């Protein structure tokens, strides 16, 4: 594949990544306005985000496996097509129920798209270039995070919340037609799809998350945990017959540590954005445009620190950079709690928190995926993204619930506790030192 074609193909993949994050963040700002027009209970506000992120999280592993089986480019294009049509339907809905249905369809389509990006990057770029490419994902995430809240606020204020769903439609059309630049890639030993495992993990995880969004139900939550345990035994039983999750991924403790660390971190990253938006629009009665602009320092800090981390810091400090990011984010969230309690501006704490997110995300993905074998790519990409999105859904649900029950300062302190948990599990990743060439060598955790 010619070098200039590879970089053009990378642009297609990065735009697809940006569409996913853009669509998630843009709706968070518009959610209160959607609720005001369509009605329903206050908890519906959380569902406008969770209806997207939950099916996205539950189907990511299956989406990655389908790329192994049918070809990553083919599955990518199918997912992009549905992802582009679903928000157009969201813009036309007359009721909250239909909006939640189409949001769920879009989330399921995103689960076909996102796992293929990492697999295609691994297929198109060798190790030295691959580290740089994975580092480029962070700034793209930052740019999308900058644009999402601002566009959501401006479009909702100037026209209607319905306009926010149309932003990704032209991007989706462009990605669909440019997908021909991508290299087709699939697993050399074609696996079979584990339908029983897919059903067990989807229903089990759904039952675990549902009580956090809709109200606590011990029986439903316990039933979900039981199904997830059954799923674990099922995967062990199928370990020689194309399991949904490759057992080889857990030969190194670093990947398991990455999964554990991603849950609390991405819960804070996504849940806290909703808390800020709700605090500004519910008790302070600010407009959607002000809410979006208030999040600008958060997103801008993420964009800047992601670029700096990918270009300069990860090659030098490797996994140890994770702790600098977590510490900076915790400092920002602590300042945010104090600002909310005292009625002060949250702009500076949001900027500090955004810088911390960027310092964390680039080494996180680089270290988590460096030992994945080619035949494990689909399973690894799907599982890592699934746990990340499950954490995001849990964050939106749990921090949103704490906000409505106790207020924004308490939600921030819960977020600080989650970051402390991420620091503990992060020690399992910190021993991996990323070299400038894109290789990873062992160092003592410090």
Strand partners, 156: none
Whether the Cβ atoms of residue 398 and residue 414 lie closer than 8 Å to each other: yes
Q: What are 442's strand-pairing partners? A: 432
> Which pLDDT score is estimated for 365?
76
The percent of residues in the chain predicted with pLDDT above 70, rounded, is: 83
pLDDT at 377: 65
Q: According to the model, what pLDDT value does residue 85 have? A: 93
Can you say whether the dihedral through the CA atoms of 378, 383, 384, 389 is positive or negative? positive
Provide the pLDDT for residue 443. Answer: 43
Within 10 Å of residue 195's Cβ, how many Cβ atoms? 10
d(C-alpha 86, C-alpha 63), whole Å = 18
Q: How many residues does the chain have?
A: 446
Mean pLDDT of the chain: 81
Give Cα separations from 224 to 108, 211, 374, 431 (angstroms): 20, 10, 32, 34
Residue 193 has a CB neighbour count (10 Å cut-off) of 15
Rounded-to-integer distance, Cα 12 and Cα 176, Å: 9
26-63 tens-digit pLDDT: 787 788 888 888 887 776 777 887 788 778 877 887 88
Half-sphere exposure of 304 (CA within 13 A, CB side): 12
Lowest mean pLDDT among 86-95, 174-183, 203-212, 261-270: 203-212
Superfamily (CATH) of domain 3-181+242-442 = MFS general substrate transporter like domains (1.20.1250.20)
Q: Please tell me the predicted confidence (pLDDT) of residue 281.
A: 74
pLDDT at position 349 is: 95
- In this predicted structure, the answer to whether residue 131 has a pLDDT above a threshold of 90 is no
pLDDT greater at residue 126 or residue 414 = 414
Tokens of 425: 């599990």
Confidence of residue 89 (pLDDT cuts 50, 70, 90): very high
Q: Is the pLDDT of residue 422 over 90?
A: yes
Mean pLDDT value across residues 339-357: 92
Residue 439 scores a pLDDT above 60: no
Close Cβ partners of 91 (under 8 Å, ≥ 6 residues apart): 162, 163, 165, 166
The pLDDT score that the predictor gives to residue 440 is 47
Confidence of residue 214 (pLDDT cuts 50, 70, 90): low
Taking the C-alpha atoms of residue 73 and residue 123, their distance in angstroms, rounded to an integer, is 11
* Residue 437 pLDDT: 40
Most confident range, picked from 145-159, 304-318, 329-343: 329-343
Between 77-86, 266-275, 288-297, 331-340, the lowest mean confidence (pLDDT) is in: 288-297
Q: For residue 215, give Cα distances in angstroms to 56, 208, 260, 338, 441.
A: 21, 12, 25, 28, 46
CA angle 396, 400, 406 (to 5 degrees): 150
How confident is the model over 229-285, as pLDDT tens digits?
998 888 888 776 777 777 777 777 778 888 899 999 999 988 898 888 888 877 666
């Amino acid at each position: 594949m010619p070098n200039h074609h590879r970089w053009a193909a990378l642009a297609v993949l990065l735009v697809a990544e940006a569409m996913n994050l853009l669509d998630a963040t843009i709706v968070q700002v518009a959610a209160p306005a959607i609720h005001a027009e369509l009605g329903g209970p206050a908890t519906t506000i959380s569902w406008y985000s969770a209806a997207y992120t939950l099916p996205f999280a539950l189907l990511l592993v299956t989406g990655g496996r389908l790329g192994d089986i049918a070809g990553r480019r083919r599955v990518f294009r199918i997912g992009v097509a549905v992802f582009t049509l679903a928000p157009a339907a969201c813009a036309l809905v007359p009721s909250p129920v239909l909006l939640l249905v189409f949001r769920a369809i879009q989330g399921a389509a995103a689960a076909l798209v996102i796992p293929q990006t990492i697999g295609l990057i691994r297929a198109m770029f060798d190790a030295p270039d691959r580290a740089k490419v994975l580092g480029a994902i962070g700034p793209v995430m930052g740019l999308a995070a900058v644009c999402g809240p601002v566009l959501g606020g401006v479009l909702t204020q100037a026209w209607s919340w319905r306009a926010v769903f149309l932003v990704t439609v032209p991007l989706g059309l462009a990605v669909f037609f440019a997908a021909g630049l991508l290299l087709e890639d699939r697993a050399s030993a074609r696996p079979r799809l584990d339908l029983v495992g897919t059903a067990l993990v989807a229903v089990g995880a759904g039952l675990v998350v549902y009580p956090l969004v809709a109200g606590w139900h011990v029986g439903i939550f316990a039933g979900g945990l039981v199904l997830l345990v059954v799923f674990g035994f099922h995967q062990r039983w199928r370990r020689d017959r194309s399991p949904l999750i490759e057992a080889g991924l857990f030969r190194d403790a670093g990947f398991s540590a990455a999964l554990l660390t991603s849950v609390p971190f991405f819960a804070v990253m996504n849940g806290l954005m909703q808390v800020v938006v709700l605090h500004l629009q519910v008790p302070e009665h600010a407009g959607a445009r002000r809410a979006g602009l208030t999040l600008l320092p958060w997103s801008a800090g993420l964009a800047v620190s992601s670029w700096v981390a990918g270009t300069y810091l990860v090659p030098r400090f490797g996994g140890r950079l994770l702790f600098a990011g977590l510490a900076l984010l915790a400092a920002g969230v602590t300042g945010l709690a104090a600002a909310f309690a005292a009625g002060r501006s949250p702009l500076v704490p949001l900027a500090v928190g955004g810088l911390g997110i960027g310092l964390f995300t680039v080494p996180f993905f680089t270290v988590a995926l460096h030992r994945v074998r080619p035949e494990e790519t689909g399973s690894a990409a799907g599982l890592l993204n699934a746990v990340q999105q499950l954490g995001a859904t849990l964050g939106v649900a749990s921090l949103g619930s704490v906000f409505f029950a106790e207020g924004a300062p308490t939600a921030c302190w819960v977020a600080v506790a989650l970051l402390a948990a991420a620091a503990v599990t992060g020690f399992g990743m910190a021993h991996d030192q990323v070299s400038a060439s894109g290789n990873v060598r062992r160092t003592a955790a410090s």
